[in-house]
Amino acid sequence: MENAVSGLTKNETHQQAGLSAWLNVNTHYWRYSSLLIALVIAIPVLVVFAAWLQPAGDVWAHLANTVLAELLSNTFTLLTGVGLGVLLIGTGLAWLTAMCDFPGRKFLDWALMLPLAVPAYVLAFVMVGLFDFSGPFLSGLRAQGFDTVSFPEIRSTAGIILVMVLAFYPYVYMLARLAFISQGRNLLDSGRVLGLGPWAAFYKVALPMARPAIAAGVALALMETLADFGAVSVFNYDTFTTAIYKTWMGLFNITAAAQLASILLLFVIAALYIERRLRQRARYETDSKSSKELRFTLTGFQKLFAITFCSTVLIVAFVLPVIQLFIWAWEVIAQDLDSRYFRFLFNTLFLGLFAAFLASFGALMLAYTYRLRPDRFTKITVRLATVGYALPGSVLAVGIMLVVVWVDNKFLEVIQTVTGLEIQPILTGSILVLIIAYVTRFMAVAYGPIDSAFGRIRPSVIQAARSLGAGNWKILWRVSMPMLSGGLLSAMLLVFVEVMKEMPATLLLRPFGWDTLATRIFELTSEGEWERAALPALALILAGLFPVILLIKKSRDR
């Protein structure tokens, strides 16, 4: 730290040196454990960067001369549209269900989380299936004598943005909702007492206070957007990510593809860095008090608006797609549904749960280490540990696979030299590697909610615990944990659902026979049988519903 500690007030000291400065606790153990987690995660990503050591041929010149400008502008448009969309819809919905009261609120409060269980590629397919020229909606209108030629096309920029907003707004909704709930009404009322109107109180008090949570949610949605390949493929909307796949699979140039992917990643790292810089100086601690009884009761036009807005989002993002999936699934259920689905379901849930626990535990360690001592070392550690999310899934999967196979080969060489035995690879094709892959990919998902929950704990609470003699573990488990439980549950839920939906890493790294619902969807869609894929897609959504409902209810009862 360049500042001399003596010149700072107590709060400033806390800001820059972290808890450890005045808690007098040992931080080495935490710092190095966190670094270890970060390295395991970062190495596969660094492998992607290693592509720069090799020549990529004429691919760059080709891209620059042909499609690069368009796909950069497409990517930018998509990010802007999805970013604004999830910000407005996610925050708006969260405000309404967390701080206001209107008929149906209790139901919508958790129901609005349900779209999280719908994979973006499934939503994209359903929307195109329903609203394309040959779909039932426009065909039905034509049968009634309407001329649908001038109707807006679903397979358009607006269409893909709409689908992604509907698929990704739950990230923002979930985190913003939690932030609003834990803020309580006290602060808001103070604002009102000081003469702010209700809107001004929202803009000047509630929103800035919830900013870390909202920013974390939007960041997740944007990274998901950047890495998406499934939904944009259905829309045939060319982005940076589709170019990566095309370079790899069409041009047979994996080096250039990895170079493109690393540029994508640099872009994400820069964006996250800027966002964190912008809010570095602010503090967000609150008194965690439930605001159950203190909601704003909406009346008249406001009530009508709230009900219409919330239920429209729910219907378009969830009810409609699920009904359509039911209709498609019904046609194939007799021929396709068999006992294998138990296995698919078990595998899906097992992998999801396991990865959710592991990722949340890792994120908790990272976040606590960051609270202890947020110096450059820890900041880099955290940054390293959360970079995997923005890489397109297949690229990251290949990065992990290369590392794992390399480790395996080295290990087997040693075994062979020492014992003379020729044995099979140990890590490659084991469940452990698959789980590590999930943690690598979804650490950012777990870290966001936990970090923003940490940000809301007053340091004085931890200070008090320390002065009563609690060590690091005790501070974390006994003191922080109860206050973190909302964030922790969110983290686990998010990772769980993400893992359930994950496709590329599961395909490449799963052990023989470890098919999941998501790989089942792949099997059917890879030869275009999207309607038949409705069955596993529906099973996936239904399986995802259970944890979504459970956890959202828990976070409300708290």
Partner 1 sequence: MRKLILSSILLSSLLGTISISVAAADKLVVYSARNEQLIKHVFDAYRNETGTEISFITDKAAPLLVRLKAEGKRTPADVLITVDAGNLWKAEQDGVLQPLDSKILSKNIPASLRDPDNNWFGMSVRARTIVYHPGRVKASSLSTYEALADPKFKGRLCLRTSKKVYNQSLVAMLIARHGEKKTEAIVRGWVANLATKVFSSDTSVMKAIVAGQCDIGIVNTYYYGRLLKKDPGIKLKLFWPNQKTHGVHVNISGAAVTRYSKHKVAAQKFLEWLSGPTAQRLFADSNMEYPANSSVPANRIVQSWGKFKQDDMNLVQAGKLQAKAVMLMDRAGYK
Q: Which stretch binds partner 1 (CB under 8 A): 13-21, 48-56, 86-94, 238-246?
A: 238-246
The closest of 369, 386, 388, 493 to 448, measured between CA atoms, is 386
Kind and range of the H or E element at 436?
helix 431-455
Please name the residue ranges forming H helices in 112-228.
120-131, 136-143, 157-183, 186-193, 198-201, 207-227
- Other C-beta atoms lying within 10 Å of the C-beta of residue 365: 18
Residues 6 or more apart whose CB falls under 8 angstroms from that of 199 comprise none
Q: Which of 397, 453, 470, 497 binds partner 1 (CB under 8 A)?
A: 397
CA distance 142 to 490: 45
Q: Does 345 bind partner 1 (CB under 8 A)?
A: no
Q: Does 180 bind partner 1 (CB under 8 A)?
A: no
Which residues ranging from 527 to 546 are in contact with partner 1 (CB under 8 A)?
A: 527-530
Identity of the residue, 209 or 509, whose beta carbon is nearer to partner 1 in the bound complex? 509
Query: What is 318-344 written as a DSSP string?
Result: IIHHHHHHHHHHHHHHHHH--THHHHH
CB of 1 to partner 1, least distance (A): 39
Identity of the residue, 306 or 539, whose beta carbon is nearer to partner 1 in the bound complex? 539
| HSE value, Cβ hemisphere, 13 Å, CA-based, for 146 | 12
CA distance 515 to 348: 8
Q: Does 523 bind partner 1 (CB under 8 A)?
A: yes
The closest of 493, 520, 551, 512 to 345, measured between CA atoms, is 520
Q: Which stretch binds partner 1 (CB under 8 A): 99-107, 291-299, 392-400, 477-485?
A: 392-400
CB of 485 to partner 1, least distance (A): 23
Q: Which stretch binds partner 1 (CB under 8 A): 318-326, 356-364, 493-501, 508-516?
A: 508-516
CB of 234 to partner 1, least distance (A): 5
CA distance 162 to 123: 10
Q: Which of 249, 266, 380, 481 binds partner 1 (CB under 8 A)?
A: 249
Q: Does 152 bind partner 1 (CB under 8 A)?
A: no
Both structure tokens of 265: 């990643």
Q: Which of 238, 275, 285, 375 binds partner 1 (CB under 8 A)?
A: 238
Q: Which stretch binds partner 1 (CB under 8 A): 7-15, 232-240, 281-289, 541-549?
A: 232-240
- Other C-beta atoms lying within 10 Å of the C-beta of residue 110: 17
Binding footprint of partner 1, residue count (CB under 8 A) = 64
Residue pair 13/221 in contact (Cβ under 8 Å)? The answer is: no
Identity of the residue, 253 or 386, whose beta carbon is nearer to partner 1 in the bound complex? 253
Interface residues with partner 1 (CB under 8 A) are 62-63, 65-67, 128, 132-134, 139, 153, 155, 233-236, 238, 242, 245-246, 248-254, 394, 397-398, 401-402, 405-406, 408-409, 412, 423-426, 428-432, 435, 504, 507-508, 510-513, 515, 519, 522-524, 526-530
